[in-house]
Structure 1
């Protein structure tokens, strides 16, 4: 079913629990992390993954199952392809988002990137050019906020994350119940955007660290 952006809510992770190590990551359609301690983790929690697997590193996922002090399962984390996820080299850490802060008074949202990167080439004997896909561009968002939102908790969180430049996660909740997770860093430009007959605004740049994770509900 088609949907419109009205009613979409934006949240930014402002605090994480201490990182917990995992000694192994399975090759499965939903990756299982072997953990000596699952302290503080529960089904439905959102985590950031640091892994020896580049395609899993800095991805954000929801926990589907927890076996206490044994393992957790990352919902929709498909690591079954051993070419992309070599057996035995996926160990790392996870850290749970402990605090989300809603970003309010957003007037506009735009996105860029996410498309395929291409390398063009040609052979001397031919006048035809070819393209090879070479990964994907980083996904970025620009959030335009009311300039007078300066006292809101979301604005203050964006400013703080801009100062420290640490990795975080943007969570987008659509009115349909769908959820998008975007690992990112944040840069808030507090210079007022001024246009006649329009409210003054500022812009926050959300720079993606890895690919998005999407859940239907």
Structure 2
């Protein structure tokens, strides 16, 4: 049984990515192994682009690199239905810098609700209704921060909002586990507040893919 409070979690966002490097192939394995002429250093945080839709625009950590390959830690591509054999080539970009988010007052996740198509058949005398899953609502992470224009994150979030390019969000939990999200950022630089409360800014991150989690070393 596990009980983990958000208290003590530290957050950061990526502020720069290295140039894209080709991945010439990815194996159907757990963990997946990518072929590359210049593998990244172990424990690099990578943004992946892949012909596999289920792997495209996701985040993974590199491991066990050798001269021409490296593992995508925690990535399971054994299903050839989801990951057709020999079809995963693409590229990766390593995160090269981060900015820490401090004075975080609250973090709220929303969305991700499963939607359904409901139907019934005319010839069914029971008039039983059936449903099939369709899509899941987009997910967002809303981070409230106490207003401080002198903080490094304030300028970094303004820049991210202007660029409108996805960033990697990192959350390190109190038990040492780490979550990585890939998301479009939006930031309101205008502080808001009420009487007897700190002024706040709000950053909203619209998730592109499911987050990936790594246990503490």
TM bin, normalised by shorter chain, reads over 0.9
Instruction: Name the CA distance, whole Å, in 2 between partners of 1:115 and 1:179.
Output: 24
> After superposition, where does 1:51-200 map in structure 2 within 5 Å?
51-68=50-67, 70-126=68-124, 127-147=127-147, 149-200=148-199
Instruction: Judge which range, 58-67 or 130-139, deviates more.
Output: 130-139
2:13 matched residue in structure 1: 12
CA distance in 2, matches of 1:67, 1:16: 22
CA distance in 1: counterparts of 2:188 and 2:118, whole angstroms? 35
- Paired residues, number: 213
Q: CA deviation at 1:121?
A: 2.3
Aligned residue in 1 for 2:41 = 42
For 1:126-145, what per-residue CA distance to the aligned partner results, in whole angstroms no more than 9, with x for missing partners?
53322212243332100011
Counterparts of 1:135 and 1:51 in 2: how far apart (Å)? 22
Match of 2:30 in 1: 29
- For residues 76-107 of structure 1, what are the alpha-carbon distances to aligned partners after superposition, in whole Å with 9 as ceiling and x for unaligned? 10011000101111100000001011011111
Aligned match of 2:215? 216
Task: Tell me by how many angstroms 1:197 deviates.
Answer: 2.5
SS at match of 1:66: coil
Instruction: From the superposition, tell whether residues 175 and 188 of structure 1 become closer, same or farther in structure 2 (CA, over 3 Å).
Output: same
Task: Give the structure-1-normalised TM-score.
Answer: 0.93
Give the whole-Å Cα distance in 2 for the aligned partners of 1:201 and 1:188: 11
Q: Matches of 2:130 and 2:101 in 1, distance apart?
A: 44
Q: Which moved more, 1:136-145 or 1:93-102?
A: 136-145
Deviation at 1:157, TM superposition (A): 1.0
SS at match of 2:169: strand
Alignment partners' CA distance in 2, 1:196 and 1:75:
48
Structure 1: stretches of 5+ with no match in the other structure: none
TM-score normalized by the length of structure 2 = 0.93
Unaligned runs of 5+ in 2: none
Q: RMSD between aligned alpha carbons? A: 1.4
SS at match of 1:183: strand
- Counterparts in 2 of 1:117 and 1:212: CA distance versus 1, 3 Å: farther
1:14 and 1:64 mapped to 2: Cα distance?
A: 22
1:67 partner SS: coil
